[in-house]
Structure 1
Amino acid sequence: MHLDHDHTHSDAAAVSADAHRPDGRRRALRIGLGGPVGSGKTATVAALCRALRDELSLAVVTNDIYTREDAEFLLREAVLPPERITAVETGACPHTAIRDDISANLEAVEDLEDEVGPLDLILVESGGDNLTATFSRGLVDAQVFVIDVAGGDDIPRKGGPGVTTADLLIVNKTDLARYVGSDLARMAADAKAQRGELPVVFQSLRSEEHVAPVADWVRARYAAWAAAAA
């Protein structure tokens, strides 16, 4: 296991202390996706896989408490070959496995690199959690937090570590705003107030190309990672 709890990422070019495997090879960039239940994390992972699979060697680790439902969805959708998708059953509150005791996720990540590597990118999807969910920097190099408009347009204003500190905030399901009475302009202003210069993407995955801004953000993170870790 490569465990380092003192990772600091002030920009896209930051590289963690364990950027290389013990044999000297560069390991994959790890990006974590967290957010409340039903916010669209798995749909976002699926869309990213479709957008990036022809240009990057990637794999996915999903987290569920007692099932492998999210991994099974990705397998049914055939977003990647089956050997590139694995699941962790956390057996406890989801943030435990992504922040407090990350050993199961680290093992899953390293097994993927050993079995199907070399990999460029591994997406680690958290089980659904609340606004306090964050990833250990010993597990991921950057984190994305996904909320959706149906959860209420006051979520960005409520803040919480997921909203305020994630490297990228996604406000998902914007196509539902008119049906649930969410004010997208208000959400954008509140997100700006909470996050400062940290990026925010508003998206609807009713069409696959709408994941393009998030895919471009991932590409930029990977380009910086590859250049700095070379």
Structure 2
Amino acid sequence: MEPEHTFKIGVGGPVGSGKTALIEALVPLLVARGHTPGVITNDIYTQEDAEHVRRTLAGTLDADRVVGVETGACPHTAVRDDPTMNLAAAAELLDRHPDIDLLLFESGGDNLTLTFSPALADVYVFVLDTAEGEKMPRKRGPGTTDSDLLVINKIDIAPYVRTDLAVMERDAHAVRGDGPVVLTDCLTGTGVADVADFVLARREAMCSPVR
């Protein structure tokens, strides 16, 4: 069944964990599966992430389907405490492109407490990376423990930053219980299809009309 509304996905995580890279790897897979995504990025002072997404996805996603929001405030404020700017950006984007069926919101880099307002995102993905150290899942925080999906990115560099990937994955599962965890290398695409599968399965479950 076709969804009755645009499905909204939040992508958050610390600075440099690979949020932008995940979106840039995910969008082509979603397009290949017949979807029409849009992207809204958040930066405090600039349009840097939006410009990067436009350049990277040129030929896959029209530039005007990517919007940059300059929040001027802490990242979690704009996606959780007062998402007004993002809601307005989404309304304007969907007015221009009503065919968008998947809308991705990238938060600015933040700490482990970042979550998304349910008014903004139907599900949210939290991105950690191996360069932060294997201890990161043990530090918990709502982003790690309560996100709909936890992504551990940059698995390719784990040996070079002295991170035991097996320990990091084990501890992530331990603090999340039944919450899913996906390991990725967004530059090569490893694991990104699993993220796409998760997003589309949640969309199907949440957006399909109840019979």
The answer to whether the Cα contact below 8 Å between 1:169 and 1:201 also exists between their aligned partners in 2 is yes
Deviation at 1:118, TM superposition (A): 2.6
1:1-150 equivalences under 5 Å are: 26-54=4-32, 55-77=34-56, 78=58, 79-150=60-131
- Separation in 2 of the partners of 1:207 and 1:193? 27
Deviation at 1:193, TM superposition (A): 1.2
- Separation in 2 of the partners of 1:124 and 1:166? 14
The answer to whether the Cα contact below 8 Å between 1:26 and 1:229 also exists between their aligned partners in 2 is no
| Secondary structure at 2:10 match in 1 | strand
Deviation at 1:218, TM superposition (A): 1.2
Alpha carbons of 1:229 and 1:80: their partners in 2 closer, same or farther (altered >3 Å)? farther
Query: Which segments of 5 or more consecutive residues in structure 1 lack a partner in the other structure?
Result: 1-24
| Secondary structure at 1:38 match in 2 | coil
The answer to whether the Cα contact below 8 Å between 1:32 and 1:124 also exists between their aligned partners in 2 is yes
Percentage of identical aligned residues: 52
Alpha carbons of 1:197 and 1:49: their partners in 2 closer, same or farther (altered >3 Å)? same
Structure 1 stretches of 4+ moved >6 Å: none
CA RMSD of aligned residues (A): 1.5
1:208 aligns with 2:189: yes
| Secondary structure at 2:46 match in 1 | coil
Alpha carbons of 1:62 and 1:156: their partners in 2 closer, same or farther (altered >3 Å)? same
Among 139, 142, 149, the alignment partner of 1:161 is: 142
The answer to whether the Cα contact below 8 Å between 1:27 and 1:119 also exists between their aligned partners in 2 is no
1:41 maps to a residue whose letter is K
The answer to whether the Cα contact below 8 Å between 1:27 and 1:118 also exists between their aligned partners in 2 is no
Deviation at 1:153, TM superposition (A): 0.6
2:52 maps to a residue whose letter is F
Q: Report the count of equivalent residues.
A: 206
